[in-house]
């Protein structure tokens, strides 16, 4: 896989640059839109004498402000995330956030207005065809009205965040994207590149990369620990002042699920752990090892595991997506053809992958760190699923485009399922075991590792209420969490104590527990795929309908429309059952080779 084969994205269709006329124009428009929404939200006379007009005007100006904010902020973040040393991009992010600060105060005023006139507003929304589609939004804002500080306090919190929790978050991103160590006498590798070597067939290479990565994180543990303490400390204080019992209560509400749903999901994840440990034990045998280390989790089975060029991955994804629906296939081809994807690994670029939307041109951009593995291919499919979700909702207003983190992972994981299942059925017999094993690698991450991250974050918040945690304490919490989920399937002396420094999700002050939504999306996506296999005729249209509803209803309501009851453990067990079948198949394959 040569570097010229791996693309960088083109942002010109959004803005030519920070100095372009269109970018400057939209910054001015954004400032005016914020002022307009603030003025309308504060119009007590209008709300009293013309409440329907007041609500329509507030919704219209808020939608405009959010569209412009998302477009500008996404562009600045795209520029920053491929080069975290770009001070111009950093300054633009700060400037955009500064302009957005009054929105927080205006939303407090708007919610107070909704609350003060709630009986009248609810009647108007029910009777108005134009406003009826915003009923869910109105009720959600009324809920958050009970969990907000005063207008002055929310304004101050938003202003301080730019140089507080958000700055701590950017510190983690900057360190994780630039931290590097010598690999040999002539070459350095970033921690992102070192983590990619976890897929190397040579165990000595994996072990060396793991050791260097752990050492690299240890060298930066103090500033990163300060960053994590800063982010979580801010979250603890704000949740308390907003009358949330815990960060998890807030995250559950942000996910638009019930506590009963989360409890059922976590309980089934916990009871499924022996299944995944059985898979890891079989993999240990397949690799000819006595015990699996953390750096063996992604080890390929066989030294001749296929390496994909980016163009091969592109053709494969488009072909499989087209097999599901022409609409999805054409969309993926457009994303590739119009350079929406930045897949090249390079110094200064953030690790992992993400998809981000630009509402004004109706486009998305995808960041990935493509490494030529099938897992790298499925990551592209995953992010294209997010982008397709955005495409389905592109004609909706900003309010109705917003969907929770649980449903955010549904389209992405469904697209992964398309690629995996079609790859498994169409691959030559010699390649099928490797594809099956990659699926189990990924699901182990989404269930077992995600559960460890969930437990770590629970412990972190419990301890952070009492004070700051040292790097050693953070490492100890992480090791305890990993032991609780991986159990004896991994060598307890060779876990990853610095996963708290690696995962950027821990450093998002506005969004805690961005871990369980992946498990939600995995199991819901598998349930949808099972429906597709049972009744493929017309399913793409039904699937699109589900995605269309994600911004205007709770996750419970959206999934109920698909025929599922996510508050029951049996729903989640159905997804685990599918995975268990694959574990059985894998274990039988290993046994047949005589290595178990």
* 3-state secondary structure string across 395-417: CCCHHHHCCCHHHHHHHHHHHHH
Q: Domain check: are 53 and 149 in the same one? A: yes
End-of-domain residue from the set 163, 180, 202:
163
Q: CATH number for the domain including 354?
A: 1.10.1370.30
Q: Domain check: are 297 and 315 in the same one? A: no
Q: Domain check: are 434 and 447 in the same one? A: no
Question: What residue numbers bound the domain in which 104 lies?
Answer: 13-163
Element (H, E) at 180: strand 180-182
Contact present, 367 and 80 (Cβ < 8 Å)? no
- Retrieve residue 115's tokens: 């609350």
- The pLDDT of residue 427 is above 90: no
**In terms of DSSP bridges, do strands 363-367 and 341-342 run parallel, antiparallel, or are they unpaired?**
parallel
- The pLDDT of residue 224 is above 90: yes
In the predicted model, what is the mean pLDDT of residues 28-39? 98
End-of-domain residue from the set 163, 188, 219:
163
Question: CA–CA distance from 373 to each of 310, 313, 378, 434 (Å)?
Answer: 10, 9, 9, 11
Q: Domain check: are 231 and 119 in the same one? A: no
Alpha helices in 465-566 (DSSP H): 471-486, 499-502, 516-534, 539-549, 555-561
Q: Domain check: are 334 and 431 in the same one? A: yes
Q: Is residue 6 in some structural domain? A: no
Task: State the pLDDT confidence band at 596, using cuts at 50, 70 and 90.
Answer: very low
Q: What mean pLDDT is reported for the chain? A: 93
Q: Is residue 512 in some structural domain? A: no
The reported pLDDT for the residue numbered 525 is 87
Task: Report the alpha-carbon distance of residue 533 to residue 51 in Å, rounded.
Answer: 49
Task: Report the alpha-carbon distance of residue 307 to residue 295 in Å, rounded.
Answer: 20
Express each pLDDT in 475-506 by its tens digit.
999 999 999 999 999 999 999 999 999 999 99
Count CB neighbours of 23 within 10 A.
Answer: 18
Q: Domain check: are 217 and 363 in the same one? A: no
- The pLDDT of residue 405 is above 90: no
Task: Report the alpha-carbon distance of residue 446 to residue 83 in Å, rounded.
Answer: 28
Task: State the pLDDT confidence band at 467, using cuts at 50, 70 and 90.
Answer: very high
Q: CATH number for the domain including 68?
A: 1.20.140.70
End-of-domain residue from the set 457, 475, 507:
507
582-585, long-range: CB within 8 Å, 24+ apart, which pairs?
582/436, 582/439, 582/440, 582/443, 583/275, 583/276, 583/278, 583/279, 583/282, 583/440, 585/436
Q: Domain check: are 295 and 315 in the same one? A: no
- Please tell me the least confidently modeled range out of 7-11, 54-58, 476-480, 532-536: 532-536
Tokens 């770590």, residue? 456
In the predicted model, what is the mean pLDDT of residues 417-435? 82
Please tell me the total count of domains within the chain: 3
Q: Is residue 137 in some structural domain? A: yes
Q: Domain check: are 375 and 413 in the same one? A: yes
Count CB neighbours of 533 within 10 A.
Answer: 11
- Please tell me the least confidently modeled range out of 236-250, 322-336, 406-420: 406-420
Task: Report the alpha-carbon distance of residue 340 to residue 366 in Å, rounded.
Answer: 6
Express each pLDDT in 274-299 by its tens digit.
999 999 999 999 999 999 999 999 99
Count CB neighbours of 238 within 10 A.
Answer: 20
Q: Domain check: are 550 and 415 in the same one? A: yes
DSSP string across 256-324: T--HHHHHHHHHHHHHTHHHHHHHHHHHHHHTT-SSB-GGGTT--SSTT-----HHHHHHHHHHHHHHH
The reported pLDDT for the residue numbered 305 is 63
Q: Is residue 4 in some structural domain? A: no
pTM reported for the whole predicted model:
0.86
Express each pLDDT in 563-586 by its tens digit.
889 999 999 998 999 999 999 999
Question: CA–CA distance from 499 to each of 450, 490, 495, 503 (Å)?
Answer: 11, 15, 9, 6
- The pLDDT of residue 215 is above 80: yes
Smallest CA-to-CA distance from 169 within 213, 210, 223, 132 is with: 223
Contact present, 30 and 95 (Cβ < 8 Å)? no
Task: Report the alpha-carbon distance of residue 389 to residue 326 in Å, rounded.
Answer: 15
Q: Is residue 193 in some structural domain? A: yes
Q: Domain check: are 461 and 583 in the same one? A: no
Q: Domain check: are 484 and 543 in the same one? A: no
Express each pLDDT in 527-559 by its tens digit.
888 888 888 888 998 899 999 999 999 999 998
Q: Is residue 8 in some structural domain? A: no
Measured at the CA of 126, the angle between CA 122 and CA 131, to 5 degrees, comes to 90
The packing angle between helices 151-163 and 221-241, to 10°, is 170
Task: State the pLDDT confidence band at 307, using cuts at 50, 70 and 90.
Answer: confident
Task: State the pLDDT confidence band at 116, using cuts at 50, 70 and 90.
Answer: very high
Q: Domain check: are 41 and 143 in the same one? A: yes
Q: CATH number for the domain including 238?
A: 1.10.1370.20
- The pLDDT of residue 74 is above 50: yes
């Amino acid at each position: 896989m040569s570097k010229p084969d791996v693309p960088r994205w083109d942002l010109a269709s959004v803005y030519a640059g920070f100095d372009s006329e269109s970018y400057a124009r939209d910054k001015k428009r954004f400032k005016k839109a914020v002022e307009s929404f603030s003025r309308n939200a504060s119009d007590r006379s209008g709300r009293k004498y013309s409440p329907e007009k007041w609500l329509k005007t507030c919704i219209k100006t808020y939608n405009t402000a959010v569209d412009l904010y998302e477009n500008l902020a996404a562009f600045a973040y795209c520029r920053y995330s491929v080069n975290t040393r770009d001070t111009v991009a950093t300054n633009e992010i700060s400037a955009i956030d500064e302009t957005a600060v009054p929105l927080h105060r205006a939303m407090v005023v708007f919610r107070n207005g909704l609350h003060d006139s709630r009986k009248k507003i609810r009647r108007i929304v029910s009777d108005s065809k134009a406003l009826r589609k915003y009923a869910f939004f109105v009720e959600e804002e009324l809920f958050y009205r009970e969990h907000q500080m005063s207008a002055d306090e929310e304004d101050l919190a938003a202003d301080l965040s730019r140089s507080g929790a958000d700055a701590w978050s950017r510190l983690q991103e900057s360190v994780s994207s630039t931290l590097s160590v010598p690999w040999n006498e002539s070459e350095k590798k970033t921690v992102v590149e070192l983590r990619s070597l976890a897929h190397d067939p040579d165990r000595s290479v994996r072990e060396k990369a793991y050791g260097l990565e752990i050492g690299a994180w240890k060298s930066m543990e103090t500033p990163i620990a300060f960053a994590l303490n800063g982010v979580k400390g801010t979250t603890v204080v704000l949740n308390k002042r907003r009358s949330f019992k815990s960060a998890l209560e807030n995250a559950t509400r942000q996910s638009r699920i019930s506590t009963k749903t989360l409890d059922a999901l976590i309980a089934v994840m916990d009871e499924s752990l022996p299944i995944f440990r059985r898979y890891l034990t079989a993999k240990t045998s397949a690799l000819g090892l006595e015990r699996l280390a953390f750096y063996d989790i992604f080890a390929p089975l066989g030294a001749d595991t296929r390496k994909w060029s980016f163009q091969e991955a592109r053709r494969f994804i488009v072909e499989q997506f087209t097999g599901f629906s022409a609409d999805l296939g054409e969309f993926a081809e457009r994303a590739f053809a119009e350079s929406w994807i930045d897949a090249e690994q390079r110094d200064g670029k953030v690790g992992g992958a993400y998809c981000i939307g630009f509402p004004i041109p109706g486009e998305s951009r995808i960041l990935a760190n493509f490494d030529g593995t099938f897992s790298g291919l499925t990551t592209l499919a995953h992010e294209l699923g997010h982008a397709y979700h955005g495409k389905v909702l592109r004609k909706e207003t900003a309010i109705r485009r917003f969907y929770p983190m649980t449903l955010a992972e549904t389209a992405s994981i469904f697209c992964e399922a398309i690629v995996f299942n079609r790859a498994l059925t169409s691959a030559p017999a010699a390649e099928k075991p490797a594809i099956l094993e990659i699926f189990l690698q990924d699901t182990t991450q989404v269930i077992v590792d995600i559960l460890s991250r969930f437990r770590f974050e629970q412990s972190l918040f419990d301890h952070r209420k009492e004070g700051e945690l040292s790097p050693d304490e953070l490492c100890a919490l992480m090791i305890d969490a990993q032991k609780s989920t991986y159990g004896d399937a991994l060598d307890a002396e060779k876990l990853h104590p610095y996963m708290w420094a690696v995962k950027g999700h821990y450093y998002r002050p506005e969004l805690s527990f961005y871990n369980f939504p992946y498990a939600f999306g995995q199991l819901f996506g598998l349930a949808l795929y099972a429906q597709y296999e049972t009744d493929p005729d017309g399913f793409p249209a039904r699937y699109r309908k589900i995605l269309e509803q994600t911004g205007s209803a709770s996750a419970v309501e959206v999934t109920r429309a698909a025929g599922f009851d996510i508050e029951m453990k049996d729903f989640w067990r159905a997804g685990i059952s599918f995975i268990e079948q694959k574990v059985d198949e894998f274990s039988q394959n290993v046994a047949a080779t005589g290595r178990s």
